[in-house]
Amino acid sequence: MLPAGIANAASLRSMPHAPGGLFGLATVFTARRDPIDFFRQHRDAYGDVVQLKLGPFKYIITHRPSVIQRVFVENAKNYMKSPLYRGLRPVLGNGLLISEGDFWRKQRRLTQPAFHRERLEGFVLAMANDARDMCTRLNAIGGEIDAHVEMMRVTLRIAGHTLVSTDLESDAKDIGHAVTVAVEFANIYGLALVQTPLWIPTPLNLRFRRAMRTLDAMIDRIIEGRRRSNELGSDLLGMLMGSRDENDGGAMNNRQLRDELMTLILAGHETTANLLSWTLWLLAQYPAVEARAREEVHAALAGRLPTFDDVSKLSYLRAILDETMRLYPPAWSFERQAIEEDVADGYRIKAGTVVGICTYTLHRDPNFWSEPDVFKPERFLAGAAERTKHSYLPFGAGPRVCIGNQFAIVESVVVLAVMLQRLNLSLIPGQSVALEPQVTLRPKPGIQMRVNPRS
């Protein structure tokens, strides 16, 4: 049956079909081998809306703003998170990123205040101090570093200090490794045709279970430390622990707390680390942009650490970050599954169909962007207005838009400003850095940089 408001089948448009091979296996194979190329090739060959079989799923790839508007915003309640996110469930449990329905709504309401403006203001000092400490350490060591490892480390430390008032620095190496293993697992498990139960001791499962022991131990330590202190505290953890169910007055149990904390710490530090890493990668190749950024920081701060009020003044830094997220969106793809049949801009979307957006290809679509592959922060400065609705979605769209988007922007501006003030980095020549589109878009194998003496 057609949804209300659609008079008859004659008003529907037909959608191009791409071949999926036997049982949709060919598409699974190509999507796994090079997922970004998979989206790009389908857009180039079939246009901005195309359907195909991806393993057992009917799958629609869309680069069309009107379809995005319908699925992610206007009729969002008819869509749930994609079954292809199942790889995240053993890691994140029923945390905010993948929970659904009334439970998600309640958790989002509870969590939202931790990201209000007044809270963000209070976080800036910790963000700036952590960034300054990193710069001091790197200047003292000098030599070669992997910028991506350093960005993961500093954003983890910031997440620890701001969200749960805990110093995660000492575990940074183990946690960093565990996050990498967990993310790789989620990726492989999500697209696997058959999911091997976790108790079977395959090498992948064993690696994953070890990684989860490390991550769970980190979360347990945070929760236990807070329970022992007998004070809730006013951070995110305190808020979650102090929250009471509207109906039965019950507190969140340890499992729910664990899932929410794991989600916020992982979603919160890995994405921002990727944004900062790709920013360093681009700045090192565009010295004029880097010089202008340094000038802006110098003029605004004259050597002191940034405050919350400075963030809005550093508009060129913000444009650099926006442009980096256009070219290298940390959340490079996301999906929904239709609960009931729907019609989006005249296209029928059958119940059970998965609708996927690839922000990497959307953000480089020549229909929306001039010179789409060129790094031009100016396009995000006030007045430039190149961006059109739903052609730029680094933080998603609709009710499930990233809860941490302002946190991420403030953090990235602050860390970048402090780095531009205090570090002189250059790329180690001759390296090739590839895209690693896992759950987030990582640089592979990392970004090797030299810490030069400061002039």
Chain contacts with ligand HEM (rule: CB under 6 A): 96-97, 108, 263-264, 267-268, 271-272, 275, 330-331, 334, 394-396, 400, 402-404, 407-408
Kindly state the smallest distance separating residue 330's Cβ from ligand HEM, in Å.
4
Contact 418, 132 (CB under 8 A): yes
Kindly state the smallest distance separating residue 77's Cβ from ligand HEM, in Å.
13
Kindly state the smallest distance separating residue 351's Cβ from ligand HEM, in Å.
19
Name the strand (E) or helix (H) holding 433.
Answer: none
What does the CA dihedral 295, 296, 298, 301 come to, rounded to 10 degrees?
A: 180
Rounded distance, CA 306 to CA 327, Å? 26
Q: What secondary structure does DSSP assign to 358-390, as a single string?
A: EHHHHTT-TTT-SSTTS--GGGGSTTT----TT
Give the residue with the Cβ less far from ligand HEM, 20 or 148. Answer: 148
Residue closest to 193 by CA, chosen among 353, 32, 419: 32
Give the residue with the Cβ less far from ligand HEM, 327 or 451. Answer: 327
Kindly state the smallest distance separating residue 408's Cβ from ligand HEM, in Å.
4
Name the strand (E) or helix (H) holding 89.
Answer: helix 89-92
Give the residue with the Cβ less far from ligand HEM, 233 or 396. Answer: 396
Give the residue with the Cβ less far from ligand HEM, 131 or 264. Answer: 264
Number of CB atoms found within 10 A of residue 73's CB: 15
Kindly state the smallest distance separating residue 322's Cβ from ligand HEM, in Å.
11
Q: Residue 398: CB partners within 8 Å, gap ≥ 6?
A: 72, 73, 76
| DSSP summary character for residue 17 | B
Q: How many residues does the chain have?
A: 455
Give the residue with the Cβ less far from ligand HEM, 243 or 263. Answer: 263
Kindly state the smallest distance separating residue 108's Cβ from ligand HEM, in Å.
5
Number of CB atoms found within 10 A of residue 143's CB: 8
| DSSP summary character for residue 330 | S
Give the residue with the Cβ less far from ligand HEM, 100 or 309. Answer: 100
Residue closest to 38 by CA, chosen among 28, 24, 23, 25: 28
Give the residue with the Cβ less far from ligand HEM, 190 or 404. Answer: 404
Kindly state the smallest distance separating residue 410's Cβ from ligand HEM, in Å.
9
Give the residue with the Cβ less far from ligand HEM, 71 or 451. Answer: 71
Residue closest to 343 by CA, chosen among 70, 72, 82, 77: 70
Kindly state the smallest distance separating residue 97's Cβ from ligand HEM, in Å.
4
Kindly state the smallest distance separating residue 439's Cβ from ligand HEM, in Å.
10
Residue of closest CB approach to ligand HEM: 404
Give the residue with the Cβ less far from ligand HEM, 151 or 275. Answer: 275
Six token digits for residue 82:
């994609």
What is the three-class DSSP state of 444?
Answer: strand
- CA dist 451 → 33, 158, 230, 292 (Å): 35, 22, 44, 20
